[in-house]
Structure 1
Amino acid sequence: MRLATWNVNSIRARVTRTIEFCVREHIDVLAMQEIKCKTEQFPYAAFEEAGYHVAAHGLNQWNGVAIASREPLEDVEIGFPGMPGFEKGKEGPDLPQEARAIGATVDGVRVWSLYVPNGRGLDDPHFTYKLDWLDKLRQYTADALAADPDLPLALTGDFNIAPTDADNGDPTIVQGASTHVSPVEREAFAAFETAGLTDVVRPLIPTGYTYWDYKQLRFPRNEGLRIDFILGSRAFADAVHGAEIHRNERKGEVPSDHVPVVADLDLSGADDDDDLPMIFG
């Protein structure tokens, strides 16, 4: 299986480019974020013509997530259990949920496409929401793997966190003044390891960014962030034998400000560790 995640920053504006990438790179499963359309507005026909099944979830012109797969999508789930909602100026357990999470099973692998809240500012209510959202996702992950330790589970998407200083090349993103790099966000990201997940791309590609702001020549200057990830359970990570960050997708006509991140899995040999990278070393 060749699995990719990509914040496409409006699928209707970039449908041709997205599908061309999938076909050219032989992508079996693509998790998309920021599709920026309602569910019924997603360009299903174009994906189906290219041989993909699609499950999408979008509420308006903001956020939105989707999964495209060459194999049928099973057990599609909108939002993970316990996922909190958000409404500016309001608090409580029953706030409206945003279109930030969709899960599906493909060939036995449980895949989530996730668009983690941005946080906006360190003193913004959206930042509190972001931390709560991450904690609830961590709890769901821990519960799922406690119930089934051998589950091949992947959390993929835009986490809006640069976990280490090496993941931040943007001079405007400063610890103590900016979201994405605060100690509490980095702690929230690191907590997924205690829940049973590991970053399956970092051991294979230790450097490189996945996002560059459109402003201030950030891409030509390579002043980017690494905020797009594929986090996998042990069963998932044991099957990973390759990874790629497609930096060139930030070039050309109307690019997204993010690029695809890809993991290659050998599901048939998942139980044989002899020739696999020591991701869990």
Structure 2
Amino acid sequence: MKIATYNVNGVNGRLPVLLRWLEEAAPDIVCLQELKAPQDKFPEKAILNAGYNAIWNGQKQWNGVAILARNMEIEEITRALPGDNDDIQSRYIEALINGVVIVCLYLPNGNPAPGPKFEYKLKWLKRLSDRAETLLSLKIPVLLLGDFNVIPTELDVYKPEKWINDALFRPEVRKAFKDIVSQGWTDAVRTLYPTEKIYTFWDYFRNAYQRNAGLRIDHFLLSPEIIKKLISAGVDHHVRGWEKTSDHAPVWIQIDKIN
């Protein structure tokens, strides 16, 4: 089973890119972030025609997450990260697919830091930590995946000294991410490639993609019940080079079927 995450940076504006990639890569499950589309503007028909069922949590102009599944039913669990009933940002959706809990998330950027946006990010990370701990306690296969907007280590960023004060790389954020992983989760990509320079995002400016001046901020965290099923992982780096593409590339893992 191939499971992927992809920050599409506008699902309607970049729909041709998404459909091209779906046909080429043929993932079984896909988590999308940054839909930038209200609930009624998600391109459900085009996604269905591509062979995928979908659930989504849209929002006008910003945010938005979706889960796609090919030839599998999607049983929605929740579309709100517990812990703040006043949070209206569409950044979280959780579903059961073929015996696996799929958590699709789009963690806040947090810039500028310090400031209200950074405080919101830290609170969101705390809520995610609490939810992650609850999901682990269920002792079932769970994947947390998506755009975490966290650069875990210096290996995960081009010229780390330039990112010291950025909300993606500040010590508080890296510690919060590390604390979640330490609950018992496995960073799939880094586990398979412990020393390699791997990026998933390249800015549109300063020829970042051409220079491979990137960041690794799109992650897969696997529960203990699924880690032994992990076969491989990768980044579809070339998709970032397509015309009118997202500033992220799709990231994927391959696992043995659970059922």
TM-score, normalised relative to structure 1: 0.87
Residue by residue, what CA displacement relative to the aligned partner does 1:109-134 show, whole Å, maximum 9, x if unpaired? 11111100000122111101101101
Structure with bigger gyration radius: 1
CA contact (8 A) 1:170 1:218 kept: no
Residue by residue, what CA displacement relative to the aligned partner does 1:143-185 show, whole Å, maximum 9, x if unpaired? 1222x12x1111111111110001111568421x222111111
- Structure 1 distance, partners of 2:160, 2:124, is 27
Q: Which runs of 5+ in 1 are unaligned?
A: 85-93, 270-281
Shift of 1:245: 0.7
Over aligned residues, Cα RMSD in angstroms? Answer: 1.5
Q: Which has the higher helix share?
A: 2
Which structure carries more relative contact order (alpha carbon 8 Å, separation 6+)? Answer: 2
Residue by residue, what CA displacement relative to the aligned partner does 1:181-207 show, whole Å, maximum 9, x if unpaired? 111110011011222211011122332
Partner of 1:160: 149
Partner of 1:136: 127
Segment drifting more, 17-26 vs 213-222: 17-26
One-letter code of the match for 1:32? L
Shift of 1:77: 1.6
CA contact (8 A) 2:113 2:166 kept: yes
Partner of 1:272: none
CA contact (8 A) 2:101 2:143 kept: yes
CA contact (8 A) 1:192 1:198 kept: no
Shift of 1:135: 1.0
Other structure's SS at 1:62 match: coil
Other structure's SS at 2:219 match: strand
Kindly report which structure 2 residues correspond to 1:128-277, keeping only aligned pairs within 5 A, or say none. Answer: 128-146=119-137, 148-149=138-139, 151-169=140-158, 173-175=162-164, 177-205=165-193, 206-268=196-258
- Structure 2 distance, partners of 1:142, 1:268, is 21
Q: Which runs of 5+ in 2 are unaligned?
A: none
Q: Does 1:38 align with 2:38?
A: yes
Segment drifting more, 189-198 vs 243-252: 189-198
Say which of 112, 133, 137 aligns to 1:121: 112
- Structure 1 distance, partners of 2:92, 2:159, is 27
Percentage of identical aligned residues: 36
Kindly report which structure 2 residues correspond to 1:8-19, keeping only aligned pairs within 5 A, or say none. Answer: 8-19=8-19
TM-score, normalised relative to structure 2: 0.94
- Size of the aligned set, in residue pairs, is 256
